[in-house]
Structure 1
Amino acid sequence: MQHTLPIAPQFYVTAPQPCPYLDGRMERKLFTALQGDGAERLNDTLSKQGFRRSQNVLYRPSCTDCAACMSARIRVADFTPTKSQKRAVRRNAGLARNATSPWATEEQYELFRRYLESRHADGGMADMDVFEFAAMIEETPIRTRVVEYTDRENDALAAVCLTDVLDDGVSLVYSFYDPDRSKASLGTYIILDHIEIAREAGLPFVYLGYWVPGSPKMGYKAKFAGVELYVGNRWERMRNPADYSSELHPLNTDPIAEQVANISLPGAQPAKG
């Protein structure tokens, strides 16, 4: 009988490119492949350490100039909606939720194109064609769902969220919605409904992606109660958003070798001390 040892994931760093969140800064990502029989465990483990999934890759910001990007999640037990969030739920009471296997459709792609043209015409996804869109939705080695929100009156597709199911929560990979429903606060509603999804499933967290102090694009994440941020290799309750401006300082970034050495892998023994 032949025995093989598990292969530890290899980590790499992307070349610097302009930061999409903070003008005048350069971004760089630490990443590893997500594949094989252990993909689900690796995704669960690294998601708890600030990593995010994009198709078959797990990545985390590793910029030389700052440490502004912080992974954010909502602790479901600590969440209470604000008045405006309650209004968002009421505005979207006519929507029906349907969670399906990760399969791309023409209707999804048409909504995706309308969303990009209205909200992110100059973004990194602006040139994504139907085949690349299908790959974003369908290329996943883990438990992933496409959560669709449709109008109960006419069955029109109003919003879509690509959602990963982790061992401790749900992770919003990417969402988009009908730009003609801008007054309905659909982006907020998708997050609120995922809090309900996690609560129904008995999962403690909703992973939101990255929050960036100083970036207007990310400001909405700070408006949810119960938000935690991954800072200094641990999760902490979010303080006053203004307190995190120091994360922009270049000396807050650890060397790559130290970052990799501090990553816990599935099955690894916790460090003593």
Structure 2
Amino acid sequence: MTAPFRFPRFFVTTPAPCPYLAGKTERKVFTELNGGHAGELNDALGRIGFRRSQNVAYRPSCIDCSACISVRVVAGEFQPNASQRRVIRRNQDLEVTACKPWTTDEQYELLRRYLRSRHPGGGMVDMDESDFADMVEQSPVKTFLIEYREPSLDGRPGRLVGACLTDQQSDGLSMIYSFFEPDDARRSGLGTYIILDHIVRAGRAGLPYVYLGYWVEEAKRMAYKAKFRPLEKLGPGGWHRFEPDQRELPLV
């Protein structure tokens, strides 16, 4: 017998320095995801801008700032632009596998290279194997770790060049965290390719959206999200289309 649904209890974190905007502080509201209704709760909260981390759903709740905006790609209407088509051609030989959310040493070493290169001052750079395992394996919802590998050789798996922790929700794929080989010129645009692959996967599964998390207009490291159109953002009146700055943005 399924346990009865209980309305979640929400909590607020202590203010801390904002990781995106200098001089700002961040505060989050969060709740636990557990029990037989964890997936349904995660779906409902995802539609109003929450993100999942392990068994917790959270969203920004800053007193003096609303810069973090939830964004999602409309998968069924997406058409890659010229630079995205080049990324697809460059990486179309990759072998992609949706794995169960269990960690490996190979994944962890790739994550370490990625963090040292792309986010050397970030809060995750000191993550150890236990922290990584917790991030991936502690999920109360339908979760995959999607691997991107170079072609197999003589029956042996090819080199792992990318991975993404992904939740499958009732209305889309939610990209929790992706990481990839940061300094391989032959594989430039791997981060872009991972998002493009998720858009294709969502379309094949009949899921309308790919959730990209939060977009902060003033944060340069968030700018790549604006390249995936049509894009919707969550506002006071719900989700609606919007057109971020049309300037040329770098690949991720």
Contact 1:49/1:233 (8 A) holds in 2: no
Of 199, 204, 207, the residue aligned with 1:203 is 207
Paired position in structure 2 for 1:15:
14
Q: Does 1:177 align with 2:180?
A: yes
Matches within 5 A, 1:87-106: 87-106=86-105
Paired position in structure 2 for 1:143:
142
- Name the aligned partner's letter for residue 238 of structure 1: F
Structure 1: 5+ residue runs without aligned partners? 243-273
Please say which structure displays the higher CA radius of gyration.
Answer: 1
Aligned counterparts of 1:56 and 1:47: Cα–Cα separation in 2: 14
Aligned counterparts of 1:81 and 1:163: Cα–Cα separation in 2: 21
Paired position in structure 2 for 1:72:
71
The change in CA–CA distance for 1:241 and 1:62 in structure 2 (over 3 A counts) is farther
Structure 2: 5+ residue runs without aligned partners? 247-252
Paired position in structure 1 for 2:109:
110
CA RMSD in angstroms comes to 1.6
Deviations 1:43-84 (A, max 9, x none): 011101000000000001111121010111001122111100
Contact 2:231/2:243 (8 A) holds in 1: no
Alignment length, in residue pairs? 240
- Name the aligned partner's letter for residue 69 of structure 2: M
- Percent of residue pairs identical: 52
The change in CA–CA distance for 1:30 and 1:5 in structure 2 (over 3 A counts) is same
Contact 1:171/1:206 (8 A) holds in 2: yes
- Name the aligned partner's letter for residue 177 of structure 2: Y
Deviations 1:112-135 (A, max 9, x none): 011111111110101110001001
Aligned counterparts of 2:77 and 2:93: Cα–Cα separation in 1: 27
Of 214, 218, 226, the residue aligned with 1:214 is 218
Aligned counterparts of 2:199 and 2:210: Cα–Cα separation in 1: 6
**Larger relative CO (CA 8 A, sep 6+): 1 or 2?**
1
Moved over 6 A (4+): none
Q: Which is richer in helix?
A: 1
CA drift at 1:157: 0.2
The change in CA–CA distance for 1:240 and 1:184 in structure 2 (over 3 A counts) is closer
Aligned counterparts of 1:9 and 1:235: Cα–Cα separation in 2: 23
SS at match of 1:179: coil
Q: Does 1:163 align with 2:166?
A: yes
Aligned counterparts of 1:51 and 1:100: Cα–Cα separation in 2: 24
Aligned counterparts of 1:11 and 1:97: Cα–Cα separation in 2: 37
Paired position in structure 1 for 2:234:
230
